Structures are given as structure tokens and as C-alpha cells.
Amino acid sequence: MKLSQLLLAAFLSVALPAIAAESRVEDVAARASLQAAMQTYIDRVLVDDAFLDLSPQTGTIRKLHPATAHPVIMRMGKYFILCADFRDAEGRSVPVDFYLGRRDKGYAVFHAEVGNRGLIERLAGEGKVSRFD
């Protein structure tokens, strides 16, 4: 079992009971489907068990390793934003925000923002992003 699958299982075992108590059944299913889509995307793009981040400024590539998925899901109109922490070679935490849209009966990642919380903070400040409750 891959690390990201273990992280998803751990997240779901902790978060779903709390979410179910607060949310409608449809929201619980949507949350689980969104988390699964993010984890599937991460698994699909790993190279040598690492999420590769290309720096546009330097042209260097750093390897990031999945650590934890955040339980909070944000909504941006009909789109969603999920976040996970990764670790770099020095063990530093690097947040990655995943932007997802609905595809068929599930969801698909259309953008990953690595180590840049400025985008989501700006969107939230402009009122374009809110918590998916």
C-alpha cells in the first residue's frame, strides 16, 4: 500500500465520523470523493515515490514526499481546494494546494500550487474562496 493511500485511510478514519456528525450525507460522500481524487492524483504523478516540483526561477527540481492531508476543504464557486503537507529532502514541511473540478461522477485535479499559500489567501481575501461546510 502506498504512503498516500495510508494517509487517506488515516484521514478518513479520523475525519469522517466528525464530518458525518456535522454534515449531510451528500457532503460526506463529496468530501470522501474529493480526498480520494487528490490522493489518486498524487499517486499517479509520483516519480520514484516523490512529487516533483520544478522551480520556474532556477530550473531545479526538488523531491517532495507526502506527509499529511488536511481535513479542511475550501470551495471556489463550483471548484474545490484541498491541501496536503509534503516534506522536502531536509524534512521541511511544504504545503501543496490542489484545485479540483467535477468530472463525470467524481473529481479531477486541474492545478497544484506548491509552497505558495499567497494564491489561496488572495482568493479568500477577495471573497472567492470559502470553507466547504
CATH number at residue 82: 3.10.450
Is the per-residue pLDDT at 81 higher than 80? yes
Please say whether the beta carbons of 26 and 49 come within 8 A. no
Q: What pLDDT is recorded for position 12?
A: 53
Task: Between 62 and 4, name the one with better pLDDT.
Answer: 62
Q: What pLDDT is recorded for position 18?
A: 55
Rounded to 5 degrees, φ, ψ at 126 are: -85, 0
Q: Is 76 left (phi over 0), alpha (psi -120 to 50) or beta?
A: beta
User: Which domain range does residue 67 map to?
Assistant: 3-131
Calculate the average pLDDT of the chain: 87
Please give the grid coordinates belonging to residue 20. 458525518
With cut-offs at 50, 70 and 90, classify the pLDDT of residue 4.
low
Is the per-residue pLDDT at 90 higher than 60? yes
Domain count, the chain: 1
